[in-house]
């Protein structure tokens, strides 16, 4: 175990009381960050080797100890297991390791995953309630695609909500790794099958055999993307797993803008924004801005992951607006009237 990789910024004295930890957290915001991380990680590693203040013993004691006030037992960065230390600028308000009931009960108090849970749980409720009115079902005659679209609107929020709610489950890294894959599967579903409407509308006026060939090719790309997302271990590797389907979507956008492409009029803005917002959100989440500038100040609200969550909800809303227009357009008998080359393809 290499503590320096986990970005500890507290020194050995801070392991003794939370007040001392808190005061050092404040100091870290103005100190030379790299130097502090290097120095204190070394101190903490020495303590760990010597068996003093074993943080994992403390964690177990949190599990076992009865708590009169759950909110009062929130932990600081060095007190949580390594697999939960993925943002070194979020310094506090971590939930202790909990069982299933404890994870669900954590909805009742504020911690550093509350915003992450709420921002993706609320869309699930909204979408489920709005399913009867989410699309003009009586106008749409295209089979399967509307259902796939609604599932794609729900998928990322279900995976993400489970991931953030149960990530501190006391089973540890095994459950965490499963939840991460479940979260990634939801993202994959939306990024690939969620784009089927816009892809199908772009090639809607092609010959049947051409459409079938292109869709089979796209599905193969999606399966490869899923394999990469599930097997790559780095954050950036997982992000690049979605590069191939993204490239296909860009090609489809170019096709839509050409004389050969289909798609409802006035959808370009939504098609562009759905990917642009997702990319901006992913980038902000990856570079840890703004909490990088104010370590420990944005644990509860407005850190990069919170911003990313809101932006991806906005991205899926743009995807839905484009899909709604495209599904109605594909259902129209006159959809391909203005596609001048469709009979030759
Ligand atoms: Zn998240």
User: What does the alpha-carbon distance between residue 26 and residue 20 come to, in Å, rounded to a whole number?
Assistant: 10
171 pLDDT exceeds 80?
Answer: yes
CB atoms within 10 A of CB 342: 19
Ligand 1 centroid – CA 232 distance (Å): 18
341 pLDDT exceeds 70?
Answer: no
Ligand 1 centroid – CA 167 distance (Å): 11
Q: Comparing C-alpha atoms, which of 14, 13, 11, 4 is closest to residue 34? A: 4
Ligand 1 centroid – CA 331 distance (Å): 36
Ligand 1 centroid – CA 243 distance (Å): 19
User: What does the alpha-carbon distance between residue 313 and residue 58 come to, in Å, rounded to a whole number?
Assistant: 37
- Whether the Cβ atoms of residue 308 and residue 291 lie closer than 8 Å to each other: no
Higher pLDDT, 35 or 255: 255
Report the b/e string of 188-222 with b at 16+ CB within 10 A.
bbbbbbbbbbbbbbbbbbbeeeebeebeeebeeeb
Q: Can you tell me which residue has the tokens 């090639």?
A: 203
From residue 96, give the alpha-carbon distance in Å to each of 28, 61, 178, 310.
23, 10, 19, 26
Higher pLDDT, 227 or 17: 227
Which pLDDT tens digit goes with each residue over 249-281? 999 999 999 988 999 998 999 999 999 999 999
From residue 91, give the alpha-carbon distance in Å to each of 9, 23, 111.
9, 12, 12
Ligand 1 centroid – CA 164 distance (Å): 7
Q: Comparing C-alpha atoms, which of 40, 102, 38 is closest to residue 76? A: 40
User: What does the alpha-carbon distance between residue 274 and residue 291 come to, in Å, rounded to a whole number?
Assistant: 25
- Whether the Cβ atoms of residue 210 and residue 121 lie closer than 8 Å to each other: no
- Within the chain, all domains assigned CATH 1.20.1070 are found at 108-344
Which pLDDT tens digit goes with each residue over 203-215? 999 999 999 999 9
Using pLDDT thresholds of 50, 70 and 90, give the confidence band for residue 20.
very low
Which residues make beta-bridge pairs with 75? Answer: 94
Ligand 1 centroid – CA 305 distance (Å): 6
Q: Comparing C-alpha atoms, which of 271, 270, 303, 277 is closest to residue 288? A: 303
Ligand 1 centroid – CA 188 distance (Å): 14
Ligand 1 centroid – CA 303 distance (Å): 11
From residue 251, give the alpha-carbon distance in Å to each of 139, 148, 228, 244.
28, 21, 21, 11
Ligand 1 centroid – CA 19 distance (Å): 29
Using pLDDT thresholds of 50, 70 and 90, give the confidence band for residue 56.
very low
Ligand 1 centroid – CA 309 distance (Å): 6
The answer to which of 144-148, 242-246, 273-277, 283-287 has the lowest mean pLDDT is: 242-246
What pLDDT sits at residue 228? 87
What pLDDT sits at residue 102? 95
User: What does the alpha-carbon distance between residue 160 and residue 162 come to, in Å, rounded to a whole number?
Assistant: 5
Ligand 1 centroid – CA 265 distance (Å): 33
Ligand 1 centroid – CA 113 distance (Å): 9
Ligand 1 centroid – CA 96 distance (Å): 18
Ligand 1 centroid – CA 253 distance (Å): 28
Q: Which fold has domain 108-344?
A: Rhopdopsin 7-helix transmembrane proteins (1.20.1070)
Ligand 1 centroid – CA 49 distance (Å): 33
């Amino acid at each position: 175990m290499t503590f320096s990789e986990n970005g500890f910024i507290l020194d050995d004295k801070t392991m003794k009381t939370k007040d001392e930890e808190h005061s050092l957290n404040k100091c870290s915001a103005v100190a030379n960050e790299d130097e502090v991380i290097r120095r204190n990680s070394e101190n903490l590693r020495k303590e760990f080797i010597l068996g003093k203040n074993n943080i994992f013993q403390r964690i177990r004691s949190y599990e076992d100890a009865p708590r009169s006030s759950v909110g009062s037992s929130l932990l600081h960065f060095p007190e949580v297991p390594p697999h939960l230390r993925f943002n070194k600028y979020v310094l506090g308000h971590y939930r202790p390791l909990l069982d299933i009931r404890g994870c669900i009960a954590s909805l009742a108090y504020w911690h550093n995953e509350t915003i992450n849970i709420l921002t993706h749980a609320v869309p699930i409720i909204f979408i489920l309630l709005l399913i009867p009115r989410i699309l003009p079902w009586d106008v749409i005659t295209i089979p399967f695609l509307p259902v796939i679209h609604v599932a794609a609107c729900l998928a990322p929020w279900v995976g993400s909500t489970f991931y953030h709610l149960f990530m501190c489950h006391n089973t540890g890294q095994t459950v965490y790794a499963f939840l991460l894959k479940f979260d990634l599967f939801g993202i994959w579903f939306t990024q690939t099958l969620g784009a089927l409407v816009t892809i199908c509308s772009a090639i809607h006026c092609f010959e049947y055999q051409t459409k079938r060939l292109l869709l089979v090719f796209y599905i193969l790309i999606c399966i490869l993307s899923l394999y990469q997302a599930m097997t790559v271990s780095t954050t950036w590797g997982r992000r690049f797993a979605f590069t191939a389907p993204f490239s296909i979507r860009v090609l489809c956008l170019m096709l839509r803008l050409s004389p050969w492409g289909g798609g409802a009029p006035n959808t370009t803005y939504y098609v562009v924004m759905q990917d642009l917002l997702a990319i901006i959100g992913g980038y902000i989440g990856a570079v840890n801005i703004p909490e990088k500038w104010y370590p420990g100040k944005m644990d509860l609200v407005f850190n990069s992951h919170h911003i990313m969550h809101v932006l991806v909800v906005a991205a899926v809303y743009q995807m839905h607006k484009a899909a709604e227009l495209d599904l109605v357009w594909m259902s129209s008998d006159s959809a391909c009237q203005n596609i001048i080359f469709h009979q030759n393809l």
